[in-house]
Amino acid sequence: MIKVGVIGAGSWGTALAIQLDSVGQDVTVWSIIEDEIKFLNEKREHIEKLPGVKISEKIKFTTDLEETCRDKDMIVLAVPSVFTRKTAASMKEFVRYGQLIVSVAKGIEESTLMTLEEVIKEELPQAEVAVLCGPSHAEEVGRALPTAVVAGSRKKSVAEFVQSAFMGDKFRVYTSPDVLGMEIGSSLKNVIALAAGMADGLGCGDNTKAALITRGIAEITRLAVAMGACPETLQGLTGIGDLIVTCASVHSRNRKAGYLMGQGKTMKEATEEVQMVVEGVYSAKAALLLAKKYDVDMPIVEAVNKVLFEDHPVKEAVNELMIRDGRIEHNHLKFPME
């Protein structure tokens, strides 16, 4: 048994706490929202975000950040990406040298273009930072449906520690040293999922969804490789795997927000209706800025940004993608004959 602090009592933090408890870990969950903690302690169910999922009495819920961080073998940082920096900074006095922090949010910081691992390292330089991501909706992890994810760290021993801490008979964990590729894939898939949702909202079919997924992973891979990531990572769970589940699932808040925009709602109206943080909205600008910085062609990302921030009609954005100049699918392939 290891002692784990989970920072963030939303759907994902709660689902991971349930998973950790199920494999015998000692789990304490923190939230800054007093009413949320009181409700979870009393009802032992996150009725709004994980309805029907019962929470073990062994899991402790608290608003005491120090209690959640001090003397823990592992701290899981599960707040939305837009709150990662502020939350990490507030943890600083309670985090010891060599403390393991596992980032489980997905996003790129718009103002700095830093990955969340980089943000956490900047705020908590004394800590050892790992990431955990992959195709894993909280609603299904909480219900113990079979799921596979990846634990990423530049140190093999750290990745394997995270792997062993989470691994269970319904929750399989692989390891990877390519933290950058994992984070780029897991963050930018939310932007492509917005596009997939928009297409669904317009009434487009499976052909359109398949095109967006495959061309979307091509865009993400081009950028990730330009930044120094391994292309194989984007063909795995944290690339194409995460993209498929986020573009297709009814649980996906990014797909749902895109769907509502495809039906005519504004970005503000759509995100308000979803009632949870839509990470793709925050990652879209960062993705476009990274594309420009690394001189990478990302037409789907460009189209999503135009819809989100320039009031560009969704139908026109889809049409513009379809009438782009013809080109070869894979630039490195050569025709043997003219």
pLDDT attached to residue 276: 76
Domain that holds residue 259: 187-322
The DSSP bridge partners found for residue 174 are 150
Q: At 274, which CATH number? A: 1.10.1040.10
Domain identity same for 158 and 268: no
How many helices (H) and strands (E) in the chain? 16, 8
* 134, 152, 177 - which closes a domain: 177
Domain identity same for 173 and 50: yes
Residue 328 lies in a domain: no
13, burial (CB in 10 Å: exposed 0-12, middle 13-18, buried 19+): buried
The DSSP bridge partners found for residue 131 are 103, 152
Q: At 74, which CATH number? A: 3.40.50.720
Look-up: residue for tokens 């043997």? 336
Domain identity same for 155 and 24: yes
Beta-strand pair 74-77/26-30: unpaired
Which one, of 99, 133, 103, lies nearest residue 120 by Cα?
103
Q: Which two tokens stand for residue 200?
A: 């669904």
Domain identity same for 138 and 249: no
Residue 327 lies in a domain: no
Catalytic residues: 189
Judge contact between 187 and 243, C-beta under 8 A: no
CA geometry: angle at 173 spanning 105 and 276, to 5°?
25
Domain identity same for 126 and 161: yes
Our count of domains for the chain comes to 2
Domain identity same for 96 and 199: no
* 115, 145, 177 - which closes a domain: 177
Q: What is the pLDDT along the chain (338 residues), one digit of tens a residue?
A: 999 999 999 999 999 999 999 999 999 999 999 999 999 999 999 998 899 999 999 999 999 999 999 999 999 999 999 999 999 999 999 999 999 999 999 999 989 999 999 999 999 999 999 999 999 999 999 999 999 999 999 999 999 999 999 999 999 999 999 999 999 999 999 999 999 999 999 999 999 999 999 999 999 999 999 999 999 999 999 999 999 999 988 888 889 999 999 999 888 888 888 877 788 888 999 999 999 999 999 999 999 999 999 989 988 988 888 877 788 888 888 999 98
Q: Which two tokens stand for residue 214?
A: 């495959």
pTM of the shown model:
0.93
Domain identity same for 199 and 243: yes
Beta-strand pair 128-133/147-152: antiparallel
Look-up: residue for tokens 């007093």? 34
pLDDT attached to residue 58: 97
